[in-house]
A and B are shown apart, each in its own frame.
Chain A
Amino acid sequence: MSARNWVQDIPSQEAYALDKILFRVQHDRAEEVRFFADPEQYIGATNLSNEARTALASTDVGKLYQLGVNPYLLRAYCLQLRMPEPDYLAALRAVAEK
């Protein structure tokens, strides 16, 4: 194992903004409905950088991890999306292989 548990010791403002979206979509039923009704529009209206917005819109799990998204929120989000477990793991492991 490499010697770091966390991408960021303190969340960046961008990681916080991404975390906030994932947290709301996971815990606020109305927000969840609004998100999944039109993810593209929802994400397009967020105040994220282009890189973060693209990562979220394309569910680029590896990039979201690298941007500092809390791994627990990312895990739960992928469960919420019903992402197949092998795809989820492969996306994460691809980060390590780069």
Chain B
Amino acid sequence: MAEIAGVFAVSHTPVMTNMRDAPGPALRDAVVAEFERVGQEIDVVKPDAVVLVSDDHLHNFFLDNFPSFCIGIAPSYPSPLEGWLRVAKQVLPGDPALAAHLLAAVMDAGFDPAFSMELTLDHGMMTPLDLAGIAGRHPVVPILVNAVQPPFPAMRRCVALGRAIRGAIHHYSGAERVVVLATGGLSHDVGTPRMGELNETFDRTFLKHLEAGGPVAAADFAAEHVNTAGNGAEEVRNWLVAHGIADCAPFTTSYYEPIAAWYTGIGIGHWKLVS
């Protein structure tokens, strides 16, 4: 049965690559070093697959048919989708067998995600992989959470889905080690009059709730306060899915800085897993 060998969460924003120098060399280098460290920590466990939890920024999905959750079950994923993103075009290997197992298992557990056999991954997954230096190195299973167009899945529902994914990974016999990388948030606004404003209090409080562990506090805090933290903060749902996959264990924040020049509160960390 597969072991969950690591669960990580990082912020993502395309300006990390497109406007890399905007925050100045000290902040830029500190963030890049953190991403590289995450990449090294993922590499060191030699995962058979990396489950990516992020959101589609209205590229694969549109308002004519928008899933709350979608599991990619393709053998490969072209990326990045955005022609303007300064990341080299490439094709990431998928793990369709693990993906199909996760899909069936969470449906048995009472969830109803969409599935896709053809996704092109956007900056939400590609920018962190690129910064971490691990793009294309490990087969991936993309799980997309709607965080860009209301109505959204409830915060607690995201934790619950994560717990179902956790059970599914543990019952999978086709791999030994699976790593999870959630991306998105923390506070930021995209395309609104608040763009460039951050909410450090929201970010630090959300992280403290994750650090305390448990299934409810972080989700309920996010549900109550996300409207004070910007439309990009809706992406904390991706972190909450990872929180569930980690069995709501305590989170360790390895880096946090509100970086206005990147329009985003940048958080990075991992869950202290209990075997």
Of all chain B residues, the one with the shortest Cβ separation from A8 is B150
Q: A19 vs B148: C-alpha distance in the bound complex, in angstroms?
A: 13
Whether, in the assembled complex, A34 has its beta carbon less than 8 Å from a beta carbon of chain B, the answer is: no
**Interchain CB contact under 8 A, B84 and A79:** yes
Inter-chain contacts of B226 with A (CB < 8 A): 5
Q: Which residues of B contact A10 (CB under 8 A)?
A: 150-151
Contacts of B192 in A (CB 8 A): 5, 65, 71, 92
The SS class assigned to the B binding surface is loop
B191/A92 in contact, CB under 8 A: yes
CB contacts between A and B, total, < 8 Å: 78
B94 interface contact, C-beta 8 A: no
Contacts of A23 in B (CB 8 A): 58, 62
- Which residues of chain B (108-161) have a CB below 8 Å from chain A? 148-151
Residues of A within 8 A of B148 (CB): 70, 72
A96 partner residues in chain B, CB cutoff 8 A: 193-194
Q: Could you say which of A8, A9, A73 has the most chain B C-beta atoms within 10 Å of its C-beta?
A: A73
The interface size bin for chain A is 20 to 34
CB-CB contacts below 8 Å: A45-98 with B: 62, 65, 70-76, 78-80, 89, 92-96
- CB atoms of A76 and B82 under 8 A apart: yes
The one of B149, B150, B228 that contacts A3, using a Cβ cutoff of 8 Å = B228
Q: Is the CB of A2 within 8 A of B194?
A: yes
Given known contacts A5-B226, A9-B150, A10-B150, A71 and B231 CB-to-CB distance under 8 angstroms:
yes
Given A72-B57, A93-B193, 14 other A-B residues pairs in contact with their CB atoms under 8 A: A1-B230, A5-B233, A8-B150, A16-B63, A20-B63, A20-B64, A23-B58, A70-B58, A70-B149, A72-B148, A72-B191, A73-B58, A89-B195, A92-B192
Point out residues on B near A: beta carbons under 8 Å. Answer: 57-59, 62-64, 82, 84, 148-151, 189-197, 199, 226-231, 233-234
Q: List 21 A-B contacts (CB under 8 A).
A: A1-B197, A1-B228, A1-B229, A1-B230, A5-B192, A5-B227, A9-B151, A10-B150, A16-B63, A19-B62, A20-B62, A23-B58, A23-B62, A27-B59, A70-B63, A70-B148, A71-B190, A75-B191, A76-B58, A92-B192, A96-B193
CB-based closest 8 A-B pairs: A71-B191, A96-B193, A75-B191, A5-B231, A74-B191, A95-B193, A92-B193, A3-B227
